[in-house]
């Protein structure tokens, strides 16, 4: 019968969980030996085996400590940042990809998305400030009251969308600005999230 210290076992489990939470990965056996002040690697192996036998941890196919299920990275989607879009008068819609963000699906959902950097203050009453990042769900239709990225000829703008019988109203959420009324408007997508820049 092998004797072990229950207190050490508990501290080791806490050490692994804390390490995973801070680093997004599991500690190596040598990092455990240093962090727990174990005298040898064989002592590490013995206590890791005990945790595994008690189903308190799992090992991957290579024998390393598996990261806790609740700490595993979420499924993500890639969303390109395609430059600026005005929250005032329409500006020329030129795609200028600055980079790509990984967005967790548990928060942002699935579907094709892109990110625009807001410029101007015409949507401030909707909580959109100049410099904010807008996560856009790519689509070609919208419902009344949706905040959309709209293309008018070759100029894009962010406004609240209202469809009338023969025309579209693009409404600014700032009393300083007038409605934009157009017959031919193309919807590029709906604003789903606004990420404020500090």
Q: Which of 22-36, 73-87, 183-197 has the highest mean pLDDT?
A: 183-197
Marked catalytic residue, from 26, 40, 68, 122: 122
Helix (H, G, I), strand (E, B) or coil at 118: strand
Average pLDDT over the chain, rounded to an integer: 85
Residue 173's pLDDT is 96
Contact 168, 161 (CB under 8 A): yes
**Are both 107 and 23 inside the same structural domain?**
no
**Are both 123 and 186 inside the same structural domain?**
yes
**Are both 86 and 61 inside the same structural domain?**
no
Residue 69's pLDDT is 58
Provide mean pLDDT across the span 27-45: 90
**Are both 42 and 113 inside the same structural domain?**
no
Q: What would the two tokens of residue 56 be?
A: 């308190």
Residue 155 lies in a domain: yes
CA distance 42 to 8: 15
**Are both 191 and 114 inside the same structural domain?**
yes
Question: Could you tell me the CA-to-CA distances from 142 to 37, 40, 81, 123, 190 in Å, in that order?
Answer: 61, 64, 22, 18, 7
**Are both 179 and 89 inside the same structural domain?**
yes
Residue 36's pLDDT is 92
Residue 1's pLDDT is 38
**Are both 103 and 40 inside the same structural domain?**
no
Residues 6+ apart with CB under 8 A from 108: 77, 79, 135, 192, 193
48-59 pLDDT, tens digit each = 888 888 888 887
State which residues form the domain around 27.
6-71
Provide mean pLDDT across the span 91-120: 81
Listed residues 71, 87, 103: the one ending a domain: 71
**Are both 127 and 66 inside the same structural domain?**
no
Which pLDDT band holds residue 73 (cuts at 50, 70, 90)? low
Residue 35 lies in a domain: yes
- Cα 126 from chain centroid (whole Å): 21
- Residue 112 confidence (pLDDT) above 60: yes
Residue 98's pLDDT is 76
Q: Is 159 a catalytic residue?
A: yes
Contact 181, 150 (CB under 8 A): no
Q: What percent of the chain has pLDDT over 90?
A: 41
Helix (H, G, I), strand (E, B) or coil at 30: helix
**Are both 167 and 113 inside the same structural domain?**
yes
Residue 123 lies in a domain: yes
**Are both 39 and 15 inside the same structural domain?**
yes
**Are both 105 and 160 inside the same structural domain?**
yes
**Are both 141 and 185 inside the same structural domain?**
yes
Residues 6+ apart with CB under 8 A from 111: 77, 137, 138
Element (H, E) at 17: helix 6-23
Q: How many domains does the chain have?
A: 2
Listed residues 71, 90, 121: the one ending a domain: 71
Q: Is 28 a catalytic residue?
A: no
Marked catalytic residue, from 138, 159, 164, 190: 159
- Residue 139 confidence (pLDDT) above 70: yes
Which pLDDT band holds residue 71 (cuts at 50, 70, 90)? low
User: What's this model's pTM, rounded to 2 decimal places?
Assistant: 0.62
Residue 1 lies in a domain: no
- Residue 86 confidence (pLDDT) above 80: yes
Which pLDDT band holds residue 110 (cuts at 50, 70, 90)? confident
* CATH code assigned at 147: 2.10.109.10
């Amino acid at each position: 019968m092998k004797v072990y210290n229950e207190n050490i076992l508990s501290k080791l489990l806490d050490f692994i969980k804390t390490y995973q939470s801070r680093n997004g990965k599991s500690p190596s056996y040598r990092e455990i030996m240093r962090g727990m002040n174990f005298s040898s690697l064989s002592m590490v192996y013995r206590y890791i085996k005990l945790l595994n036998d008690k189903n308190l941890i799992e090992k991957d196919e290579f024998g390393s400590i598996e990261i806790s299920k609740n700490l595993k990275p979420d499924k993500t989607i890639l969303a390109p940042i395609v430059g600026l879009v005005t929250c005032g008068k329409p500006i020329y819609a030129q795609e200028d990809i600055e980079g790509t963000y990984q967005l967790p699906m548990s928060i942002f959902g699935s579907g094709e998305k892109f990110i625009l950097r807001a410029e101007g203050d015409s949507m401030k009453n909707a909580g959109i400030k100049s410099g904010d990042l807008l996560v856009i769900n790519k689509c070609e239709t919208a419902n009344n009251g949706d905040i959309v990225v709209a293309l008018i000829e070759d100029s894009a703008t962010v406004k609240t969308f209202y469809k009338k019988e023969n025309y579209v109203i693009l409404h600014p959420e700032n009393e300083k600005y007038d409605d934009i009324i157009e017959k031919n408007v193309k919807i590029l997508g709906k604003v789903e999230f606004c990420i404020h820049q500090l």
